[in-house]
Amino acid sequence: MKIATAFCALALGALGLAACDSAQAANAVPRPEMDHALATTASRDTAVLAGGCFWGMQLVFEHVKGVLQVTAGYAGGQANTASYEQVETGATGHAESVRIVYDPSQVTYGQLLQVYFSVAHDPTELDRQGPDVGPQYRSAIFYASATQQQVAERYIAQLTRDKVFPRPIVTQLVPLRGFSPAEAYHQDFGKKNPDNAYIMINDAPKVRHLQQAFSALYVE
């Protein structure tokens, strides 16, 4: 459970270690070489990303300029198994994910991926993220178009080529087959519960790193 692992992480001093590692990563990850220019008119597009507990992913992307809505949910499995109790078994094929609705005239898909790889999660952790363990916490990009697939593929290749991370990137790149919103009590959990131990230890530092590393993209 997330709450229990928060206290375990605190006992191990994970807060200081995670802050140091995340700050270094945020400063090291370059922009994608392949990306599209900002659109000339306002519109709406969608990105679905997985990278550990959806509480933190949602909290980070809610602070990105041009993001209109972030929904915590499940992707990768069947709709009839998209419930927290089932997904937490690790046997459904789902990953805890976020659906990001954004305005491409304010932020590009490539910029969202840069935030994703820089501060939202660690793309070198296999089937886990920080204190959370299991395939439901895997790193995955669920692309909804050939353009998203191409930008993500090229970006992963770029980061791998330049050896940006000390370990191999394990992020899965798979087509989006569907997205199921999580239960109401998971939505905006970090925003509604800033004093929760798990949020303070694992997620609040990511928001601070976002502000430091991407000041032009950060919004309150």
Sequential DSSP letters for the chain: -HHHHHHHHHHTTHHHHHHHHHHHHHHHPPPPSS-PPPPSS---EEEEEEES-HHHHHHHHTTBTTEEEEEEEEESS-GGG-SHHHHTTT-SS-EEEEEEEE-TTTS-HHHHHHHIIIII--TT-TTEETTEESGGG-EEEEESSHHHHHHHHHHHHHHHHTT-SSS----EEEE---EEEPPGGGTTHHHH-TT-HHIIIIIHHHHHHHHHH-TTTB--
Q: Would you call 53 a catalytic residue per the annotation?
A: yes
| Candidates 9, 47, 53, 98; catalytic one | 53
The residues, ordered by sequence, that sit 6+ positions from 48 with a Cβ below 8 Å of its Cβ are 75, 97, 98, 99, 100, 141, 142, 144, 176, 179
Using an 8 Å Cβ cutoff, are 22 and 209 in contact? yes
Which residues are catalytically annotated?
Answer: 53
